[in-house]
Amino acid sequence: MWIRECASLFQQDRRGPTFLYEPPRRVSFSNATGATIPCSAVGTPDPRVTWTSADGAPVDDVRGLRYARPNGSLVFPPFRAEDYRQDVHATVYRCAAANAVGSIVSRDVAVRAGESS
């Protein structure tokens, strides 16, 4: 009986992730400014936030062009115009959050970087 009650209490404390901040549908920026796209979620246990491309492939860091912060933000630092990459700077991303209880995926985030004038 005691074990069942403890298990029941443990289950009640567990919650699937929900977004605290879901990224916007569109993010435009210049190569001179760069951009940071925030994404954060809560749940119990704490969810892990990751980024994927539109086809569901995990987003890896691209040195000097794109990286994910531990807080869930996807960062596009300022870059030289000649370093522009369509697969990084003009594509669609999704933020995902998952824990042992469940997972959620954000709406599509269309990213567009342009050259500063």
The band of 66, judged by pLDDT with boundaries at 50, 70 and 90, is very high
Is residue 3 a part of any domain in this protein?
A: no
Q: What confidence tens digit (pLDDT) does each residue in 21-57 have?
A: 999 999 999 999 999 999 999 999 999 999 999 889 9
| 6-31: average pLDDT | 86
Mapped to the 3 state alphabet, what secondary structure does the chain carry? CHHHHHHHHHHHHCEEEEEEECCCCEEEEECCCCEEECCEEEEECCCEEEEEECCCCECCCECCCEEECCCCCEEECCCCHHHCCHHHHEEEEEEEEECCCCEEECCCEEEEEECCC
* Total domain count, the chain: 1
Is residue 5 a part of any domain in this protein?
A: no
Is residue 110 a part of any domain in this protein?
A: yes
Residue of 112, 115, 117 whose CA lies nearest to 35 = 112
The CATH number of the domain where 82 resides is what? 2.60.40.10
Structural domain span for residue 28 = 16-114
Q: pTM value?
A: 0.87
* Amino acid identity for residue 37 in this structure: I
Is residue 58 a part of any domain in this protein?
A: yes
Is residue 4 a part of any domain in this protein?
A: no
